[in-house]
Amino acid sequence: MKIGMKKFGFLFLVCVSVGCDADGNTSSDDVSVDLGHYETNDVFDDSGLGDAADSEINDASNIDQGAEPVTEPGCEGTALLVNPDDPASTGPWPVGARTVMIENLRTEVWYPASPGSAALLGRKIYDVREHLPDNEQGKIPDENNPWQECPCFSDIPLDTERGPYPIVIFFHGTAGFRTQSLTQTSHWASRGFVVIAADHPLLELKDVLLFKFGADLVGDAKKILSSLEQGDGGFAFLKAHIDLNRIAVIGHSAGGLAAAQMGAHPGVQIVIPMAAGGASDVSVGVETVVMGATEDQVVPYSQQLDGYAATPKPKRFVGLHKAGHLAFSDLCVLGADQGGLLDIAIRFGVNVNPLIANLAKDGCKDGQLSADDGLEIINFATSAALEARLHCSPDAGDWFEKLPLNYESIVVDYDVDM
């Protein structure tokens, strides 16, 4: 199949803010909250989010309170819950989340939690101010802070009745942070993957704002994988419940370059570079999904195509039209009602280089692909590829090729060369 323009349309399910409790998790009740910087009795306003948001809440409620979960076999007899046929739909697992330290790496783990364990709990909220330089974090007031709410729940029990689960390692990009693509990382976990992302020193936002560089993402990934193999420390709760022979590495921008370098690591079965190019050095048989954006001003679209051409089979390609560099993250959504995270930071006196501020809008401008539509297609394409390869789903491979039959209105390039 040659790369060609196809039309797609999407329904994006929004994570709804409905209040929060004293642990930084949301709640439907008015409560006094301490999220590190403020206390309030106000309930987060979910007005204007529409039926899609209500559907997301209802879906989560059904997961927690519904009938006995139905399982099906995955790779080599692995027990899995039955995922919805639409790979962009939230999966059947409630999502647990833990923040752990792996050596010097602040690391987030999103994982399939035991069905029913999230009932009556509030969702986890991340304070993005922690990613500013230490002496700048107090400048943005609570009422202007773009709190990042997750469709996940702190420290709820791992679903140990199913599994073992494949691992997804996610690398953030330059001036990013571990939750920069929360829409994707939580989505994959809901569909049966243990997803791990770290704040990478000398690449995260606080370092780039101070013009500190020199990250070693591959070295960071090896620390994480070594700790997973040992099964101790912050990863002890995963021991005996993960499959280190079924690993995906996914990254955005500089993180995509690092993901491509992990293609020969033992256990890696699929590599997904986003806004980065191809993966020419993967081991024989490792699958690659190259994702790019036609209006990317950081990594030109031609570079995505050239990288894909140089990538060995099996491989797939997805290119988003009228999309920019940040389409593969939540950074265009975060604080969008106030101009974006860095505009908010500048307004309250945080020192931000104008070049960095301008790059932070690449993909967030009027007339470009909406963040909702972009995140929807990324969830669809990545989940289809991950589940085909790491869950051995008999239908997932067909989902990718049936994209043009399922959606309209969003123009993409795509290719499948298996």
Domain positions in the chain are 69-417
Q: What pLDDT score was predicted for residue 24?
A: 39
Q: What pLDDT score was predicted for residue 355?
A: 84
Torsional sign, CA 122, 128, 130, 131? positive
Q: Can you give the pLDDT of all 418 residues of the chain as single tens digits?
A: 333 333 322 222 222 222 333 333 433 332 222 333 322 223 233 323 233 333 343 344 334 445 578 999 999 989 999 999 999 999 999 999 999 999 999 999 999 999 999 887 889 999 999 999 999 999 999 999 999 999 999 999 999 999 999 999 999 999 999 999 999 999 999 999 999 999 999 999 999 999 999 999 999 999 999 999 999 999 999 999 999 999 999 999 999 999 999 999 999 999 999 999 999 999 999 999 999 999 999 999 999 999 999 999 999 999 999 999 999 999 999 999 999 999 999 999 999 998 888 888 999 999 999 999 999 999 999 999 999 999 999 989 888 877 766 655 577 888 999 9
391, 192 Cβ separation under 8 angstroms: yes
Domain 69-417 is of which CATH architecture? 3-Layer(aba) Sandwich (3.40)
155, 99 Cβ separation under 8 angstroms: no
Kindly report whether the peptide bond that precedes residue 141 is cis, defined as omega within 30 degrees of 0.
no
For residue 162, the one-letter residue type is R
In sequence order, the 6+-apart residues with CB closer than 8 A to the CB of 172 are 178, 180, 181, 197, 199, 200, 203, 204, 251, 252, 255, 329
Torsion angle defined by CA atoms of residues 342, 344, 345 and 348, in that order, rounded to the nearest 10 degrees: 160
pTM, full prediction: 0.85
Cα distances (angstroms) measured from residue 288 to each of 28, 277, 282, 304: 42, 11, 8, 13
Q: What pLDDT score was predicted for residue 401?
A: 79
User: Phi and psi dihedrals of 65, rounded to 5?
Assistant: -120, 5
330, 375 Cβ separation under 8 angstroms: yes
DSSP 8-state secondary structure symbol assigned to residue 282? P
